[in-house]
A and B are shown apart, each in its own frame.
Chain A
Amino acid sequence: MVRKPAPPVAPRPLNRRLPEPPSTLRRGPLREEAWRSPLRSERTAAVLGIWVGIAFAICFVTGLISHLIQQPPSWFGWPSRPVNLYRITQGLHVISGFAAIPLLLAKLWTVYPKLFEWPPVRSILHAVGRLSLLILVGAALFQLITGVLNLARWYVVMPFFFTTTHYWTAWIAIGAILVHVGSKLAIIRLGLSAPAAESEEQADVDVDSPPDPPGGLSRRGFLTAVAATSGVVALTTAGQTVPALSAITVFGQRDPDLGPQGLPVNKSAIAAGVEETAIDPTYRLILQGPRSNELSLAVLRSLPQHTVTLPITCVEGWSATADWTGIRMADLLDLMDLPADGEVFVESLQEDGLYRASVLSPPHTRDPLTLLALQLNGENLHIDHGYPARLIAPNRPGVLQTKWVSRMTAL
């Protein structure tokens, strides 16, 4: 018995082929043979795509951690140990972001001819797919551009609040990457299963198949060059996090040893508007809780002092270790009769600003390393480091290490 062939199935409306534009329009970069570099291939695109995906995934996870620490939902808890954990995650965030620059640019260069594919739109579904790519490319570039601008403190060219916008765009970027991977799974598999790139010598002599003039990099050489460039960018960015690399810093924002008392500053007393109130001799630390109190600087100095060695870690990725001396937060909370699981709202003399106050919650509140610091590296705090008193706690972003502390309120 001979089976009849199945009747042809009409394509769904969204996938129905649209009329092709006149071929006379197919000029310049739209020409069939316009893009001839032998470096571009499914394998190159797939390998670079994996590297970009890894870099963006690291950026996303570490950025999400930083966001959750600063705006913790009820289900989220962040430990106070190990003390260097946030230093590592936020350092990685910036390092992987910079390392992603060559990876993303190489990936986009590899698939650039797809921008000029012919016909420009084959079907409605195809048009939707191309538009989704615009979201992917736009969001990915947005993240890297704003990240670089933020590190360079070039805020005026960003007509939005960096932190919020960078955070929400990160969701778009990582989501668009997932969608893109899903749509390209078969091609990625095809690319990765293709034979590895030919050797450089093969590329040199194989003048027939590669349309570009030979003699340049092979595909393997191109990938190696991109990986090496990414590695160098990472190394020359990491110096602001890893002191051993500070001498070769090129793209880092800070030298961990440079600043008042050998420590960088993010916000100065002048910028915070506390240059007078911070040195006012009538300064009092106000404790508001089950038992309220007002403590002068002299009284604070008379309380038991402890010295701890802790890093200060900025959300911009730099970090530096210092010796801090002051009163254990647990002792101050005892003065307030605050229960062991209590939280405290720590406020600054700074009157305005998003980071003028922070909430200190367990386990940081009772961690013996958490201090209301009065001294840094054996000297009274420099005014830019928060004189007369600042919060320093283990494994916490710098923006939450409130400076010029004036009031602590039990929550």
Chain B
Amino acid sequence: MTSAPEAGSTGLTLSGDPEPAPSPYRWAWYLPGLVAVGWGFYGLLTAPMGPDPLQWVLFTALGVAGHDLVLVPVAVGVGLLVARILPKVLRAPAQVGLIGTGIALVAGFAYILGPGVSADVPSALPFNYAGRVAVLLAVLWVAMAGWAVLRIVRARSRSPSRSGSRRAGDADQPE
């Protein structure tokens, strides 16, 4: 990792390298972007049926806080557990299964809880959403289980007796 340079405007990339100099074409994006942002705030504040600004800010802040302080820490924690508990050969299928599970729950939670169901309009939200999400997740995890079996078989076919060395991905390789 390169140490941070002195210039105040320069940060580090995700890889830890100094960020490159800004593109000379950035203003071609800034200008329409800033106009759109300004137009959006103008509309929010002046539209006849626009929101109470404080409630909009609060709702938006809650969304960000829920994401940054709850959703991502949970995802990171689960990822750490997977990395530490599961044998290497099972990690990738588990990661894909967990990504799919998390997304299904995030996209489907409002349907599953069902507060919008109304006897007045039975054709709205007509499905057993919890059941459908469960079926989707069952299909996902069966597929991941199959993938895991394939990985185990593949790892065993590369056993030390055949390859002469241990390879990462072996199911029995200790951490």
Contacts and interface: CB of A to CB of B under 8 A. Distances in A.
Interface stretch (A76-84, A151-159, A366-374): A151-159
B110 A154 contact: yes
Contacts of B63: 138, 141-142, 145
B88 A204 contact: yes
B55 A217 contact: no
B161 interface: no
B70 interface: no
A186 B20 contact: yes
Contacts of A263: 123
Contact of A213 (B34, B64, B84, B125): B84
A251 B111 contact: yes
Interface string B107-135: 11011011111101111111101001100
Given A154-B110, A217-B95, A250-B108, A189 B23 contact: yes
Looking at B34, B68, B127, B133, the one whose CB has the most chain A CB atoms below 10 A away is: B127
A123 interface: yes
B28 to A, nearest CB: 7
Interface in A103-141: 105-106, 108-115, 117, 122-123, 125-126, 134-135, 137-139, 141
B8 interface: yes
A264 B122 CA distance: 9
Contacts of B95: 216-217, 222, 225
A254 B124 contact: yes
B162 to A, nearest CB: 16
A165 interface: yes
Contacts, number: 295
Given A110-B14, A153-B118, A229-B100, A134 B64 contact: yes
A17 B37 CA distance: 28
B152 to A, nearest CB: 12
A142 B19 contact: no
Given A101-B106, A152-B125, A168-B40, A187 B51 contact: no
A115 B68 contact: yes
B173 to A, nearest CB: 8
B13 interface: yes
Interface residues of A, number: 113
Contact of B108 (A11, A153, A187, A251): A251
B96 interface: yes
A268 B60 CA distance: 32
Interface stretch (A175-183, A297-305, A386-394, A396-404): A175-183
Contacts of A180: 33
B121 A226 contact: no
B175 A213 contact: yes
Nearest to B116: A153
B36 A178 contact: yes
A376 to B, nearest CB: 14
Given A126-B9, A165-B44, A179 B52 contact: no
Interface string B82-93: 111001110110
Nearest to B96: A225
A215 B72 CA distance: 22
A182 B79 contact: no
Nearest to A110: B14
A48 B29 CA distance: 19
Given A182-B23, A205-B168, 10 more contacts: A134-B64, A169-B44, A175-B39, A179-B34, A181-B29, A182-B25, A185-B25, A190-B13, A216-B83, A253-B124
The 5 A-B residue pairs whose C-beta atoms are closest, nearest first, are A215-B88, A175-B36, A153-B116, A182-B29, A178-B33
29 contacts: A11-B8, A16-B8, A17-B8, A18-B8, A98-B107, A105-B71, A105-B106, A153-B115, A153-B125, A154-B113, A168-B44, A171-B36, A173-B40, A175-B36, A175-B37, A183-B29, A186-B19, A215-B83, A216-B95, A221-B92, A226-B99, A236-B136, A249-B127, A250-B104, A250-B127, A254-B124, A255-B127, A264-B124, A265-B124
